[in-house]
Amino acid sequence: MDSFISKIRSLDAYPKINEDFYSRTLSGGVITLASSIIMTLLFISELRLYLHAATETKLVVDTSRGETLRINFDITFPAIPCSILSVDAMDISGEQHLDIRHDIIKKRIDVLGNVIETRKEGIGSPTIDRPLQRHGGRLEHNETYCGSCYGAEGSDDHCCNTCEDVREAYRKKGWALTNPDEIDQCKREGFLEKIKEEEGEGCNMYGFLEVNKVAGNFHFAPGKSFQQSNVHVHDLLTFQKDSYNISHNINRLTYGEYFPGVMNPLDGVTWTQETPHGMYQYFIKVVPTVYTDVSGHTIQSNQFSVTEHFKGADFGRFQSIPGVFFFYDLSPIKVTFTEQHVSFLHFLTNVCAIVGGVFTVSGILDSFIYHGQKAIKKKMELGKFS
């Protein structure tokens, strides 16, 4: 047994020296103190990296199909009233959503940006007790009201009981409503009066759009839109205005859900129109993004980059629609962010490397200083040091 213990003792790579042979120096004390501080700082830094999750980034080809894209927006137009502002969306597949109202909220604002009390949907309250019937006579007490669509009826029993119904029927026909005062419903509801009443006001519009995950555009413009000879146009004659100020503030614009670290380049952007007419365009490249946190929860979202362009009213022989247009296209590359903690073994390896590395370098430095001092002292004693 004693021989076995002796063999084990002979394998000791750390032989001990009697304390009587130790020689402690000032330089050794300074180096020990400095190395201890360095080791402590490096250990704290490594511990912080271990306790916090690291994010791994990968680029992969986006193979998803048939998905939808959610666009969240909050945009303020200081010089366009809510009553004439509309939002449309369309994509390269041919799908169109015109004058979207669901999931969208409008707030009337004054010139100072203060929110005016929201009124109910509709143009206003009737001012004529007996509205004009479709057949041409006035509504009697024993009759059911069925207003005329003024030639835009979709069927024999189609009724337009409000000004909005007439405008919608005209839109489906691809017609422009040139003079609302000639429409009984619009005259009763005070359509033009309401527009004049909101003159000088602005509009804050916020909500979201759910569109196909293909290239397309959505835009904010005055007037009701319709298709005329396969061309997308807006009915601007209705409002009897010469110019439209499309100055705007983008409070928020995102493609998908929020995830940690996302940067939305258009948040807080403000643009002021200096010419009477024009169209402001944003060209957006959407990058699909998947974010997975340390708990395994996955967020399907998007990032985007953007360029801007302002087009004046006259472009060649055509007149551009006054409005703010967002043209977006999708990148074929998807970015994945994965949060993960550093393993304990990796942390332990780094700590050992810190302690061993600092200890070794400190020992080499101390030995260099000690033997250097010793050599200089010896030469001084022999009188050879000059």
**pLDDT tens string 62-121:** 988 888 999 999 999 998 888 888 899 999 988 888 878 888 899 989 888 888 855 434
Please state whether 272 falls in left (phi above 0), alpha (psi between -120 and 50) or beta. Answer: beta
Q: Given pLDDT bands bounded at 50, 70 and 90, which one contains residue 122?
A: very low
Structure tokens at 75: 């945009």
Could you give the CA distance from residue 225 to residue 234 in angstroms, rounded to a whole number?
4
pLDDT band (50, 70, 90) for residue 300: very high
pLDDT above 50 (res 124): no
pLDDT above 80: residue 169: yes
- Angstrom distance (rounded) from CA 69 to CA 322: 26
Determine which helix (DSSP H) or strand (DSSP E) holds 46, and give its type and residue range: helix 26-51
Of the pLDDT bands very low, low, confident and very high (cuts 50, 70, 90), residue 42 is: very high
Distance CA 129, CA 117 (A): 27
Question: Is the pLDDT assigned to residue 153 strictly greater than 90?
Answer: no
Residue 368's CB is within 10 A of a number of other CB atoms, namely 11
Query: Who has greater pLDDT, 15 or 108?
Result: 108
Mean pLDDT of 224-236: 70
Say what the pLDDT of residue 344 is: 86
The token pair at 184 is: 């009984």
Cα(330)–Cα(214) distance, integer angstroms:
7
Mean pLDDT, the chain, integer: 81
358-385 mean pLDDT:
79
Dihedral (CA of 58, 63, 69, 70) sign: negative
Angle between helical axes of 344-382 and 26-51 (0-180°, round to 10): 170
CA distance 218 to 205: 14
Instruction: Map tokens 């489906």 to a residue.
Output: 172
